[in-house]
Amino acid sequence: MGRLVIVSNRVPDPRERNQPAGGLAVGLADALRDEPSTLWFGWSGHKSEAGEGDPEPQLETYGKVTYATVPLTPAQHYGYYQRFSNAILWPLCHYRLGLMNYCRKDWQEYLEVNRMFARQLKPLLKPGDVIWVQDYHLFPLGQELRNLGVNVPIGFFLHIPFPPWSLFRALPPATALLHDMQAYDLIGVQTDEDAGNLRENLKAAGYNHPARVVACPIGIDPIKFGETAANAYEGEPIQRLRGSLHDEPLIIGVDRLDYSKGLEERFLGYERLLTRYPEHHRHVTYLQVTPVSRGEVEEYRQLRRQLDETVGRINGAFAASDWTPIRYLTRPVPREVLAGFYRLADVGLVTPLRDGMNLVAKEYVAAQDPQDPGVLVLSRLAGAAPELSQALLVNPHDADDIAEALHRALTMTREERQQRWTGLNTEVCSTTAETWSRDFLHALHSSRREATA
């Protein structure tokens, strides 16, 4: 097998001890550990003014991975990243057409950056390489590489949902994007539903022999995460939190600050629990850890203000002098501390309105003590729901449904908790970061062989 070349918008900084709060970086870091040699190409995370011609990629090797990164100009960062990727494709792919804010100039900048990435990557490629492009920022990259004569296998994985044609066709360049996706030897998506939608889109756009699409759910490294959680549990931050709870139950939520995560609806569901089941007053605590993300996009700034207000209102209405119903943290927390928090929590509350997969749900399961596991309350609309059907599944738009599931979780017998957790843990251990990358790359090799046979 040749060298694996990963291309993603952001390339993690190998010198940073803490990984960023984002599923792609976490999933890939776990998956790459067993690859013999890898080139990882993408944006450096820095902005710099345009010079003469393209910027030179910066190369740095750490262990088996060489990182090749390029900066973006402020105009590219705005048009390609903030606008077309995060204010147009992101809401559309999360079924939020009302939040899509299209402008043709941003589409042109998006294509331009994909072209620039292709030009910069091409000289770094060697015969025998296999390229694996990641996520919605880079839909056209495969086609741009093919236009430059790159002939090695190129696969693509989409981490977020893919909507039905009836929705996706509202995007003015929908057909152009679907055309470019034909350049990939294989396209991976998270769930069967996404795979069905993407196939339908490709057919509707007029492709009689559409690119191969497979559902290949991403996971975590559950053994390592479970060990991290068990070790962290004894540490000071967890024991301090534990001491502050006085043996009363804890509900935990952990999400990037994003409207797809259903945070407002979740707070209202918790409020409904307090209204309908007053026996939990002064007992239950809900800890929500939500570091700010994409703070430069207006919708995210508005969401932050709205959530601050909702938490303040609920706490103001229900708190007692010695009890705060919601503890809300907007600063990042180290991963090992999060793992310990999950283990301490009696309930993991994961209620996105839409999510490609949702790794937090899998992390919560992996972090539990098998003798005394907590209960996962999970949105039916998360990509993880079909696999994690032993969770208490809820509709995240229905505050009463959330409240009833929380009450049920808080009062569940240890026997039922163990029984549900055993089923969940079997699933989390059967689709991991390792099986995800192995299965995808295996399918990519065989689809290439079929194409060239």
Q: Which residues are catalytic?
A: 159, 355
By CB under 6 A, which span of 51-59, 251-259, 302-310, 395-403 interacts with ligand ADQ? 251-259
Tokens of 302: 């508005």
Total H helices, total E strands in the chain? 17, 14
Alpha helices, DSSP H, located in 122-248: 141-147, 165-168, 174-181, 192-204, 222-233, 236-245
Q: In the complex, what is the shortest distance from the CB of residue 359 to ligand ADQ, in angstroms, rounded to a whole number?
A: 3
To which H or E segment does residue 301 belong? Answer: helix 298-318
Which of residues 130 and 359 has its CB atom nearest to ligand ADQ in the complex? Answer: 359
Q: CA-to-CA distance for 154 and 147, rounded, in angstroms?
A: 13
CB 377 within 8 A of CB 398: no
What is the Cα Rg of the chain in Å?
A: 22
Q: In the complex, what is the shortest distance from the CB of residue 207 to ligand ADQ, in angstroms, rounded to a whole number?
A: 25
Q: CA-to-CA distance for 213 and 189, rounded, in angstroms?
A: 7
Give the three-class secondary structure for 254.
strand
Q: Write the interaction track for ligand ADQ spanning residues 134-173; mark x where CB under 6 A is met and - where it is not.
A: -------------------------xx-------------
Q: In the complex, what is the shortest distance from the CB of residue 114 to ligand ADQ, in angstroms, rounded to a whole number?
A: 20
What 444-453 contacts at long range (C-beta under 8 Å, 24+ apart), as own/partner pairs, is 444/130, 444/132, 444/153, 444/155, 444/185, 444/186, 445/1, 445/130, 445/153, 447/185, 447/186, 447/212, 448/153, 448/185, 448/186, 451/185
Which of residues 22 and 196 has its CB atom nearest to ligand ADQ in the complex? Answer: 22
Is 27 near ligand ADQ (CB under 6 A)?
Answer: yes
Q: Write the interaction track for ligand ADQ spanning residues 368-387; mark x where CB under 6 A is met and - where it is not.
A: ---------------x----
Which of residues 96 and 282 has its CB atom nearest to ligand ADQ in the complex? Answer: 96
Q: Write the interaction track for ligand ADQ spanning residues 100-139; mark x where CB under 6 A is met and - where it is not.
A: ----------------------------------------
Query: What is the phi/psi pair of residue 87, to 5°?
Result: -110, -5
- According to CB under 6 A, which residues from 253 to 272 bind ligand ADQ? 254-256
By CB under 6 A, which span of 1-9, 112-120, 165-173, 356-364 interacts with ligand ADQ? 356-364
Query: What is the phi/psi pair of residue 220, to 5°?
Result: -120, -175
Contact residue for ligand ADQ among 358, 368, 379, 447 (CB under 6 A): 358
Q: Write the interaction track for ligand ADQ spanning residues 314-353; mark x where CB under 6 A is met and - where it is not.
A: ------------------xx-x--x---------------
Q: In the complex, what is the shortest distance from the CB of residue 312 to ligand ADQ, in angstroms, rounded to a whole number?
A: 20
Which is it for the CA torsion 16, 22, 26, 31, positive or negative?
Answer: negative
Q: In the complex, what is the shortest distance from the CB of residue 377 to ligand ADQ, in angstroms, rounded to a whole number?
A: 15
Contact residue for ligand ADQ among 13, 22, 152, 292 (CB under 6 A): 22
Contact residue for ligand ADQ among 359, 377, 385, 424 (CB under 6 A): 359
CB 187 within 8 A of CB 446: no
Is 401 near ligand ADQ (CB under 6 A)?
Answer: no
Which of residues 274 and 381 has its CB atom nearest to ligand ADQ in the complex? Answer: 381
Contact residue for ligand ADQ among 252, 357, 381, 433 (CB under 6 A): 357
Which of residues 274 and 361 has its CB atom nearest to ligand ADQ in the complex? Answer: 361
Q: In the complex, what is the shortest distance from the CB of residue 134 to ligand ADQ, in angstroms, rounded to a whole number?
A: 9
Is 24 near ligand ADQ (CB under 6 A)?
Answer: yes
* Angle, in degrees to the nearest 10, between helices 335-344 and 359-366: 60
Query: 9: number of CA atoms within 13 Å, CB side?
Result: 21
Contact residue for ligand ADQ among 45, 196, 291, 423 (CB under 6 A): 291
State which residue has the least CB distance to ligand ADQ: 23
Q: In the complex, what is the shortest distance from the CB of residue 356 to ligand ADQ, in angstroms, rounded to a whole number?
A: 3
Q: How many residues bind ligand ADQ (CB under 6 A)?
A: 26
Q: Mention every residue, 6+ apart, whose C-beta is less than 8 A from residue 360.
A: 254, 255, 348, 350
Q: CA-to-CA distance for 270 and 399, rounded, in angstroms?
A: 8
Give the three-class secondary structure for 359.
helix
Tokens of 378: 């999970």
By CB under 6 A, which span of 48-56, 301-309, 355-363, 418-426 interacts with ligand ADQ? 355-363
Query: What is the phi/psi pair of residue 154, to 5°?
Result: -130, 120
Is 303 near ligand ADQ (CB under 6 A)?
Answer: no
User: How many angstroms separate the most distant Cα atoms in the chain?
Assistant: 73
Region of 282 on the Ramachandran plot (φ > 0 left; ψ -120 to 50 alpha; else beta): left
Q: CA-to-CA distance for 229 and 146, rounded, in angstroms?
A: 44
Contact residue for ligand ADQ among 32, 89, 187, 218 (CB under 6 A): 218
Q: CA-to-CA distance for 47 and 56, rounded, in angstroms?
A: 14
Residues found near ligand ADQ in the complex (CB under 6 A):
21-24, 26-27, 159-160, 218, 254-256, 289, 291, 332-333, 335, 338, 355-360, 363, 383
